[in-house]
Amino acid sequence: MSEESTAEGDHRRASIITALREGVRRVDDLARTCGVSTMTIRRDLQVLEQRNEIRRVRGGAVPVDAWTFDHRLGRSTAAKDVIAAKLLSLVPEKGGIGFDGSTTVHSLARCLKEQPVHDLTAVTTGFETFHELSRTPGCRAYTTGGTADLHTGSLVGPLAQVTLQQFALHTCFLSATYLDESIGSTEFTADEAAVKRALTAVSQRTVLAVDSSKLGRRAVAKCLSLEEIDILVTDLSPEDERLEPYRGLVELM
């Protein structure tokens, strides 16, 4: 098995992305941060550049605009379609629901027009998701105020959290940067994690939707423990062995 396909390599490259977003740029500094050789870092940067997740510059690398909403929307589209189809069955015909600003949950909002809803209220932290929801018959859409997270485009900060406190929701639909069986879901920024926790706090049920490439990996900011997640929805069959670490801890779908 090649190094690039190992869990160790995946975790290290996730750490590199996190470090780049925190301002670490030079190969030497990345090597010290990750505790590996500069040769290993250069190999990892080559892999990340091929994935269009970073741009290499002299002496190091910088994060590219690959994490803008439009770019993320075009990643893992088949997996997102599978997930959105599963999520549709969890949307009530009426009542209150919450959406984060992720592209995975945006796929659900886009598909919501295919399912009849009546007197449904939806609040979201994402501009693009709000636009989809506002065009959905039978759905009254709200978006929070707040500051746009430069990494995700989601609305975050105290104003977003205060707005969410005005709602009492049946279900919130969230995604995550990564999901680890030990510490739960994680995000690239603490602000993003905080607003997702705020959505969970006003919801009776929390649904986390992540594609299988995000499993077993960690970003820098802790968000939700597995105990706080009611249903985990992925592009995998619930019987898939890759979901074994989560079996019995959350409902799998």
Q: Work out whether strand 203-209 and strand 184-187 pair parallel, antiparallel, or are unpaired.
A: unpaired
**Which alpha helices (H) appear in the chain, and where do they start and end?**
7-21, 27-34, 38-50, 69-73, 77-88, 103-111, 127-134, 158-164, 190-201
- Calculate helix-pair angle for 103-111, 127-134, nearest 10 degrees: 10
The model scores a pTM over 0.85:
no
Is there a contact between 127 and 99 (Cβ–Cβ < 8 Å)? no
Find the Cα–Cα–Cα–Cα dihedral 77, 82, 84, 89, rounded to 10°.
170
Alpha-carbon distance of 47 to 33, in angstroms, equals 18
CB 71 within 8 A of CB 142: no
- 3-state class (DSSP) for residue 197: helix
| Three-state secondary structure call for residue 131 | helix
165's tokens: 């406190």
Calculate the CA 162 to chain-centre distance.
Answer: 22
Contacts of 223 (CB under 8 A, 6+ apart): 176, 184, 185, 186, 187, 192, 193, 196, 197
Q: Is 64 exposed, middle or buried (0-12, 13-18, 19+ CB in 10 A)?
A: middle
pLDDT at 73 over 70: no
Per DSSP, the three-state class of 151 is coil
- The model's pLDDT over 195-222, given as tens digits with 9 standing for 90+, comes to 999 999 999 999 999 999 889 988 888 9
Q: 9-28 burial, b for 16+ CB within 10 Å, e for fewer?
A: bbbbbbbbbbbbbeebeebe
Residues 106-145: pLDDT tens digits?
999 998 887 877 889 999 999 889 999 999 998 999 999 8
Q: Classify each residue of 107-134 as buried b or exposed e, where b means 16 or more C-beta atoms within 10 Å of its C-beta.
A: bbbbbbeeeebeebbbbbbbebbbebbe
* Residue of higher predicted confidence among 247 and 114: 247
Task: Using the predicted structure, report yes or no on whether residue 30 has a pLDDT greater than 60.
Answer: yes
Domain annotation for the chain: domains and CATH numbers: 3-64 (1.10.10.10), 72-252 (3.40.50.1360)
pLDDT of residue 74: 54
- What is the model's pLDDT at position 206? 98
How many CB atoms within 10 Å of residue 167?
Answer: 18
Residue 68, pLDDT score: 60
Alpha helices (H) along 116-252: 127-134, 158-164, 190-201
